[in-house]
Structure 1
Amino acid sequence: MEQRISSFLAKYGTTEYAFQLLALLASILIGWSIARLYESWFLKNKQTKDTLNRIHLRKLQGFRTIRRIVFPLTTALLIFVSSHILSLLKLPREVLDILMPLFLAMAAVRVLVYFMRAALPGARWLSTGESLISTLIWVTFALYSIGWLPFVVDTLDAIGVSIGDNKRLSLLGLIQLSLMLALLLLIAMWLSRQVEKRLRKSTVLDISMRVAVSKIFKFTIITVALLSALSSVGIDFTALTVFGGALGVGLGFGLQRIASNFVSGFILLFDRSIKPGDVISVGQNFGWVEELNARYIVVRNREGVETLIPNENLVTTEVINWSFNDKKVRLKIPVQISYEDDPEQAMEIMRQAAVQSDRVLAFPRPVCRLMEFGNYGINLELRVWISDPQNGVANVRSDINLAIWKAFKEEGITIPYPHQDIHFTNPLQINSIDPESN
């Protein structure tokens, strides 16, 4: 042990290595101080301090990420400058050259984690992806530090298969393709989310066009990212023409419903028949549209249940849009009274019951009509208008019906129940039999 310590001190205890150690410690200290100054400036900035409690979560997360990146990036830059100075002074610098990639790797991990969280918020596999990326970066740094990285790269490049004339796909190329594809898709998803957030704040485009532009931009940028990743590793697209054609035919037959939903989604966006916020009825589903996605829409009812309805159903079946042009909706409330009651009095009571409801509009004013003389009573119909169908229509009917029932009870107006009178045109003879006579 003493011999190893003596050997270590003999090699690294010299003045030349002491300069490297001092430069390293100074770089770390200055980098940490700059990071602290940045954090202090942010918190003391008056505008930031006044809006800190109202700051958007994504902006706050971005600030925290920048704060965490400042230290490793600044330290790496200072180590690079120190290494260059030692090189000019003809002094050893191998320790600094080894540790500089360490801080760059630390910054790269934090930047990639931020982009993953910003581009894919709420993804279940996010934690696994972060761990995988961190492990890959640290393994690469470890191989570089011990000098094994060139050997590993050559070994991966030697393992491969031929994919055509003078074309070869190695394991290294496959790894590069995967990394490039993941990186470009991550950037594409992040850019699409930024564009989507900007479009949401736009007042020039209506909501349908904002969603349409957002979806088209997302589809385009992901396609560009995919093609760029394939091109970056030298894959010739002409070699994939036949395979792509066969794959397209297979997908056309096997995924025609998905393709139909995808196309129907763009039809809904461009014809503006259904927009986020609209109140619709599709079959037994009633609620307001929360999201328009590529394959389906999300409809939320008053119970908080979210229903996913395929876009194709909205194009091929009947859909009631309660707020297509105007959010005002007329409700019809049928009521039946007895023939012994005064219909004009009952109609006035029904109008007054409608006026008492807070959600019933004063104009167009509520009206009541005598519809027909039914088998069991006089059929009346109250017609009222509301402007907020997204808050429900059944509750308005219930409130008005309850008010009508109370008012009818106070005025003595009866609501008949089904009954039937039987009249005999000829006298009916009834004979009684004494059971004891048998």
Structure 2
Amino acid sequence: MEKFDEITAAVWLSVQQLDFWWQLLALAFALLLASLTNRRLQLLVAAQNIRGTGLRHVAVRSIQRLLWPLTALAILVPVKIIFEMNDLPAQILAIAVPVLVALAVIRLVVYILRKAFSVSPLLKSSENLLAGIIWFGVLLHLAGWLPGVLAVLDSLATTVGETRISVLAVIKLVFMIALAFTLAIWLAEFISQRVQRSAHISPSMQVGFAKFSKFLLITIAFLVALNAVGINLSSLAVFGGALGVGLGFGLQRIASNFISGFILVFDRSIKPGDIITVGDKFGWVEQLNARYVVVRNREGVDTLIPNENLITSEVINWSYADRNVRIIVRVQISYEDDPEQAMALMLACAFSSPRVLKTPEPTVRLIEFADSGIELQLRVWIEDMEKGTGAVKSDINLAIWRTFKENNITIPYPQRDLHIKSGWPTAAVDTVKTPEQD
């Protein structure tokens, strides 16, 4: 607490001096003028980024974040020189110059780190907060107050068993874990992007390698962060035992889904883009995640299927080895019509849908002599099962209907023949009167 009292006394002594307020006024004037200039420059730079993409967009956005601190430096440095030439105190201005330099570097680094990850509202909103925290630490260091503040934070401590836990130790742990996780995730994203660009690695192996590298790097980052703050890794044995008990009692399904995800990836049975049916769920695979698979159906609804279900239950993969799928269109004709003529007409209607493939060729088969008519089947092939089969069948059925109408081929109704093998019952015959009996 003595350090804190000394810092408070020094600040109070500086505030009571007139030179302090002159420097503060000059600093405020420089910052206000920099803000007004920055507005005009921002409009000019933004006009250059209307159609900017890729590296150009990143460069322009980086310049926009550097404009204010650089403009403030361009105004503040001459003001500081004027103070020094007139033998006026310039301690605050001397502190403000490196603070602005540090702020420019911090804003640039934070923006580049944010661009390295997937954009999220939380990450975008925390950029200014993170920059402000780092900037405040730099300000304390330049003012010479950082050692005293650290001593105060270290004095706020408690003892748990044989371990002393202070506020400073907790802040260091959080900072080291955040830094290590940031570097690990950034490196994992970089590896994932490089792997996805490779044409020699299958999609499922790309997902598997990205998952494995991310899991490995995050684990290493966590262990390195704990070791950096002085936590003995052997103490994690108790945590490992508790984790084992947790897996045995309540986390079996989570662990099973996690391991099943790696199995699905490495055996390449399911990969992004595959068209699958699981139970009554039909759709194509959008994502392979650590715990579940995202399957999107024709209605645009995403179904999250646990990885364990894909391992333990029957899964129909319509595009496992070949994306071609056969569609069967069933039609019946009357026994009075010529089946060979009908088969030729059906074959001519096969390409009424543009999605029907020419290879393999469509075929027509006479399947059976059914109760109501002769059953024929037109068999065609498509390669885009994710678009469904309803449109293809509809186009072919309409074409067959028109063609059969033009050639007088009948599609029969269901028919039943009733045969009476004996006469009316005797009682019923006796009750019927003839004209002679009237």
- Pairwise same-fold verdict (TM > 0.5): yes
CA 69–164 in structure 1, closer or farther in 2 if over 3 Å, else same? farther
Q: Which amino acid aligns with 2:224?
A: S
356-365 or 152-161, larger mean C-alpha shift: 152-161
CA 139–71 in structure 1, closer or farther in 2 if over 3 Å, else same? closer
Q: Which amino acid aligns with 1:194?
A: F
Counterpart check, 1:353 vs 2:349: yes
CA 239–79 in structure 1, closer or farther in 2 if over 3 Å, else same? farther
Q: 1:116 aligns with which of 114, 123, 147?
A: 114
Count of residues in correspondence between the two structures: 405
CA distance in 2 between partners of 1:112 and 1:121 (Å): 13
The answer as to whether partners of 1:109 and 1:133 remain within 8 angstroms in 2 is no
Show the counterpart of 1:219. Answer: 215
Counterpart check, 1:157 vs 2:154: yes
In structure 1, the gaps of 5 or more residues are: 1-6, 44-48
CA 75–191 in structure 1, closer or farther in 2 if over 3 Å, else same? farther
CA deviation after TM superposition for structure 1 residue 272, in Å: 1.2
Q: How does 1:200-219 map to 2 (within 5 A)?
A: 200-219=196-215
Q: Which amino acid aligns with 1:357?
A: S
Show the counterpart of 2:7. Answer: none
Query: Which secondary structure state, in structure 2, belongs to the residue aligned with residue 385 of structure 1?
Result: strand
Show the counterpart of 1:287. Answer: 283
Counterpart check, 1:343 vs 2:327: no
CA distance in 1 between partners of 2:75 and 2:299 (Å): 59
CA 362–235 in structure 1, closer or farther in 2 if over 3 Å, else same? same
Q: Which amino acid aligns with 2:259?
A: V
1:109-141 alpha-carbon deviations (Å, 9 max, x no partner): 45325423542413x433553354245345546
The answer as to whether partners of 2:275 and 2:284 remain within 8 angstroms in 1 is yes
CA distance in 2 between partners of 1:223 and 1:73 (Å): 39
CA distance in 2 between partners of 1:289 and 1:334 (Å): 30
Q: 2:365 aligns with which of 363, 369, 373?
A: 369
CA distance in 2 between partners of 1:183 and 1:328 (Å): 49
CA deviation after TM superposition for structure 1 residue 323, in Å: 1.5
Show the counterpart of 2:376. Answer: 380
1:55-101 alpha-carbon deviations (Å, 9 max, x no partner): 23x76245412552476479879999x999x99xx996522442145
CA distance in 1 between partners of 2:129 and 2:159 (Å): 29
CA deviation after TM superposition for structure 1 residue 392, in Å: 2.1
Counterpart check, 1:171 vs 2:175: no
Query: Which secondary structure state, in structure 1, belongs to the residue aligned with residue 185 of structure 2?
Result: helix
Show the counterpart of 1:3. Answer: none
1:122-161 alpha-carbon deviations (Å, 9 max, x no partner): 3x43355335424534554666677664444223212333
CA distance in 2 between partners of 1:11 and 1:119 (Å): 43
Query: Which secondary structure state, in structure 2, belongs to the residue aligned with residue 125 of structure 1?
Result: helix
CA distance in 1 between partners of 2:133 and 2:20 (Å): 32
Counterpart check, 1:232 vs 2:236: no
Q: Which amino acid aligns with 2:91?
A: E
Show the counterpart of 1:186. Answer: 182
Q: Which amino acid aligns with 1:60?
A: H
Query: Which secondary structure state, in structure 2, belongs to the residue aligned with residue 360 of structure 1?
Result: coil
Q: How does 1:319-334 map to 2 (within 5 A)?
A: 319-334=315-330
CA distance in 1 between partners of 2:399 and 2:70 (Å): 71
Q: Which amino acid aligns with 1:159?
A: L
Q: 1:255 aligns with which of 248, 251, 254?
A: 251
1:254-311 alpha-carbon deviations (Å, 9 max, x no partner): 2221211111111111111111122222222222222211112222223222222222
The answer as to whether partners of 1:349 and 1:407 remain within 8 angstroms in 2 is yes
Show the counterpart of 1:4. Answer: none
Q: 1:55 aligns with which of 49, 53, 56?
A: 53
The answer as to whether partners of 2:337 and 2:410 remain within 8 angstroms in 1 is yes
Q: Which amino acid aligns with 1:162?
A: T
TM-score by length of 2: 0.78
CA deviation after TM superposition for structure 1 residue 428, in Å: 2.2
Query: Which secondary structure state, in structure 2, belongs to the residue aligned with residue 99 of structure 1?
Result: helix
Say what the alpha-carbon RMSD is for the aligned residues: 4.0
How many percent of aligned residue pairs carry the same amino acid?
Answer: 47
CA distance in 2 between partners of 1:292 and 1:278 (Å): 11
CA distance in 2 between partners of 1:408 and 1:232 (Å): 81
The answer as to whether partners of 1:117 and 1:126 remain within 8 angstroms in 2 is no
CA deviation after TM superposition for structure 1 residue 186, in Å: 2.2
CA 11–341 in structure 1, closer or farther in 2 if over 3 Å, else same? closer
Show the counterpart of 1:405. Answer: 401
Query: Which secondary structure state, in structure 2, belongs to the residue aligned with residue 168 of structure 1?
Result: strand
Q: Which amino acid aligns with 1:133?
A: L
CA distance in 1 between partners of 2:68 and 2:125 (Å): 25
In structure 2, the gaps of 5 or more residues are: 1-15, 434-438
Q: Which amino acid aligns with 1:207?
A: P
CA deviation after TM superposition for structure 1 residue 250, in Å: 0.9
CA distance in 2 between partners of 1:137 and 1:10 (Å): 28
Q: 1:98 aligns with which of 91, 95, 98?
A: 95
Counterpart check, 1:299 vs 2:295: yes
CA 187–10 in structure 1, closer or farther in 2 if over 3 Å, else same? closer
The answer as to whether partners of 2:19 and 2:89 remain within 8 angstroms in 1 is no
TM-score by length of 1: 0.78
CA distance in 1 between partners of 2:113 and 2:330 (Å): 58
322-331 or 243-252, larger mean C-alpha shift: 243-252
Q: Which amino acid aligns with 2:123?
A: L
CA 327–370 in structure 1, closer or farther in 2 if over 3 Å, else same? same
Show the counterpart of 2:133. Answer: 136
Q: Which amino acid aligns with 2:95?
A: I
CA distance in 2 between partners of 1:54 and 1:302 (Å): 35
CA 394–279 in structure 1, closer or farther in 2 if over 3 Å, else same? same
CA deviation after TM superposition for structure 1 residue 106, in Å: 5.1
CA 161–98 in structure 1, closer or farther in 2 if over 3 Å, else same? same
CA distance in 1 between partners of 2:118 and 2:361 (Å): 50
Q: Which amino acid aligns with 1:193?
A: E
CA distance in 2 between partners of 1:125 and 1:315 (Å): 35
